[in-house]
Structure 1
Amino acid sequence: MMMLSLASLCLLATVAFAVPAQEKRIHHQADLSDHAHDDSHGFQYDHEAFLGKEEAKTFDQLTPEESKDKLAKIVDRIDIDKDGYINHSELHYWIKHRQRRYIEENVNKHWNEYDKNQDGKIAWEEYKNTTYGFYLGEDFDDIEDKATYKNMLNRDERRFKTADRDGDGIATREEFTAFLHPEEFDYMRDVVVQETVEDIDKNGDGKVNIDEYIGDMYTPENGEKEPDWVQTERKHFSEFRDTNKDGYLDGSEVAHWVLPGEVDHADNEAKHLIHETDTDKDGRLTLSELLDKRDYIITSTITDYGGMRVDEHDEL
């Protein structure tokens, strides 16, 4: 099944300033990759959960011997009890750890960009002026698609105000984390759902129909036959997503879809990775097994949660 990506709304290439790389549409613990989880079309799903997105790019440029050495170091970090095997709990813990580490690093990166007066807080005005300030005075008039940027500004302000729990217009580090990663905070739930509907709802009726649902995941090429996974998603829409069977997903149905309660996707990814690479089916992985599935590990993706650097000071 292909879940919606965590990707940001793409910026126009002609704009000189950089809107931060926060998730403009967020899903609570969505599939841990921005690729379709489709094993029949290569391995681009499972690489990043094990290695991380940035580290995955590095692996693609290493020699076989270099990648073997790098992978061995990562396996050694995951193997907490040092018995020479990676079991499910160790892999699950590693993926969860990298998720937390990614969020921490992402917040730290943006915090330094926006806390201009270095007072340990980020005011909405600081964020707005840093992100959009160059064009605010001109009301985006020099931008070809100024409506898009006005919408982005309004969306950022709405999300910022929701994250700002005490309403003082200033984000603490926890509130700024909720702004950048609303999927991690229960009180941001309504924003996550609202942004998702806005992104997918092309006709503006406040609901998601089957064409909008599929269109957000898949755009056919001329003459291309619809893949099997798309047919599966059509069934999921009608049989599971559209609970009241009215042909649309309303806010509550979207919430059930993108915020599925206590589903542990890191756990699911650990199980999936073991299933795909555990050659002797003993429920655990060895370095040898991972090397045997080197293409699966090194040329594919699992998570969008950042680089899996082998850092001796990175406490598990």
Structure 2
Amino acid sequence: MLLNSLLPLFVLAAAAFAVPAQEKRIHHHADLSDRVHDDAQGFQYDHEAFLGKEESKTFDQLTPEESKDKLAKIVDRIDTDKDGYVSHAELHYWIKHRQRRYIEENVNKHWKDYDKNQDGKIGWEEYKNTTYGFYLGEEFDDIDDKATYKSMLTRDERRFKSADRDGDGIATREEFTAFLHPEEFDHMTDVIVQETVEDIDKNGDGKIDINEYIGDMYTTEDGEGEPDWVQTERKHFNEFRDTNKDGVMDGGEVANWILPGEVDHADNEAKHLIHETDTDKDGRLSLSELLDKADFVKTSTITDYGGMTLDEHDEL
């Protein structure tokens, strides 16, 4: 979860590398999109699910002709059996491929920043000194929001130790991937749940009540009534999130919420995209169907939310 505090610019510059633990809270659909999956509010979630979310502005800057030409090339890549149609299996595989590529590129980007001695590993001290080194000697005394930075350091160290499975204080590439993307690793479940509870639990009881749950998503303005989707979330909390009906979500219930078992969100998104785009309802997508829905498709995960570039190095 991004920090709510606005820190002085010089502090932000000094802590520019403090990305992983504070970069996001992990939710069950984080890799597909950070958008709300509600077609009534628009199709940005599906756009990002089809295209990828890192370079979304690129696609939007193309002319209609250029974007359709680019989309046609992407569809050709997805159609692995070259029968002229995109099946559910091909679409599902493609979305999973885009997820894996995003994670790999993100890890590669950060690896260069932290592996200072270029030994192919990242020690906790390397990470800590790169991220917080300028202020460590003073224990953050010169920073206005000292408590926040101490909390960030504690949180980073806890996540790093959870990812460091052999406990040697040094992260291999796989362990560093678990540090940056704990949602991809079963052994990181506990730290994901702990971070989520800490972000939302305002009264410090280690649990999430309904006001904390709603307050994390929506703040009521004076004189405003709650929108329908907030009422729906209240219902979801009472009927589905709080499974033992004690009025709060404990760690197990939070885990079921943010990491719901074997739910395959790439599979669900593939089904949804076909449902929205398959005009003749034959269960597969032709190029013409996709081009007819180009505005819907071009900003989904299939094209990295509009920023995907195609070259010979982008192998499936």
- The alpha carbon displacement at 1:309 in A equals 2.6
Aligned mates of 2:196, 2:269 — CA distance in 1:
23
Q: Which residue of 2 aligns with 1:49?
A: 49
Is the CA contact 2:32–2:52 (under 8 Å) kept in the aligned structure 1? no
Give 1:55-94 correspondences, 5 Å limit: 55-94=55-94
Q: How does 1:1-316 map to 2 (within 5 A)?
A: 8-9=2-3, 12=7, 14=9, 15-17=12-14, 18-22=16-20, 23-30=23-30, 32-298=32-298, 300-302=299-301, 308-316=308-316
Alpha-carbon deviations, 1:140-188, whole Å to 9, x = none?
2232212111111110000001111111111111111111111111111
Q: TM-score scaled to structure 1, two decimals?
A: 0.91
1:261-308 superposed Cα distances (whole Å, 9 cap, x missing partner): 11101001111111111122211112222222222223x555997853
SS of residue paired to 2:44? coil
Would you identify which runs of 4 or more consecutive aligned residues in structure 1 move more than 6 Å?
303-306
1:228 CA displacement: 2.2
TM-score under structure 2 length normalisation = 0.91
Name whichever of 28-37 and 7-16 sits farther off.
Answer: 7-16
**RMSD (CA atoms):** 2.1
2:82 partner SS: coil
**CA 1:28–1:13 in 2, change beyond 3 Å: closer, same or farther?**
farther
The structure-2 alpha-carbon separation of the partners of 1:273 and 1:170, relative to structure 1 and needing over 3 Å to count, comes to same
Q: CA deviation at 1:240?
A: 1.0
Q: Is the 8 A contact 1:31 1:303 kept in 2?
A: no
Paired residue type of 1:70: K
SS in 1 for 2:26: coil
Q: What is the distance in 2 between the residues matched to 1:275 and 1:294?
A: 15
Matched residues in 2 for 1:110 and 1:139: separation?
25
- Note if contact 1:103-1:181 (Cα within 8 Å) is conserved in structure 2: yes
| Matched residues, number | 309
Unaligned runs of 5+ in 2: none
Question: Counterparts of 1:72 and 1:167 in 2: how far apart (Å)?
Answer: 48
Q: Is the 8 A contact 1:32 1:304 kept in 2?
A: no
- Give deviations 1:87-122, integer Å, cap 9, x for gaps: 111110000011111111111111111010011110
Indicate how the Cα distance of structure 1 residues 274 and 26 shifts in structure 2: closer, same or farther if over 3 A, else same.
same
Bigger Cα displacement from structure 2, 286-295 vs 253-262: 286-295
Tell me: CA distance 1:178–1:206, structure 2 relative to 1, closer, same or farther (3 Å). same
Name whichever structure is richer in helix by fraction. 2
Match for 2:13: what amino acid?
A: A
Residues 303, 25 of structure 1: alpha-carbon distance in 2 compared, 3 angstrom cutoff: farther
Question: How far 1:51 sits from its partner (Å)?
Answer: 0.9
Give the Cα–Cα distance (whole angstroms) in 2 for the partners of residues 208 and 129 of structure 1: 34
Query: SS state of the match for residue 243, structure 2?
Result: coil
1:64 shift after superposition: 0.9
Distance 2:311 2:221 in 1: 43
Question: Residues 9 and 267 from structure 1, CA distance in 2 versus in 1: closer, same or farther, beyond 3 angstroms?
Answer: farther
Change (3 A) 1:20 1:106: farther
Q: Which amino acid aligns with 1:257?
A: W
Q: Please give the secondary structure, in 2, of the residue aligned with 1:142.
A: coil
Distance 1:36 1:303 in 2: 17
SS class of match (1:54): coil
Deviation at 1:27, TM superposition (A): 3.0
CA contact (8 A) 2:182 2:192 kept: yes
Structure 1's unaligned 5+ residue stretches are 1-6
Separation in 1 of the partners of 2:311 and 2:127? 31
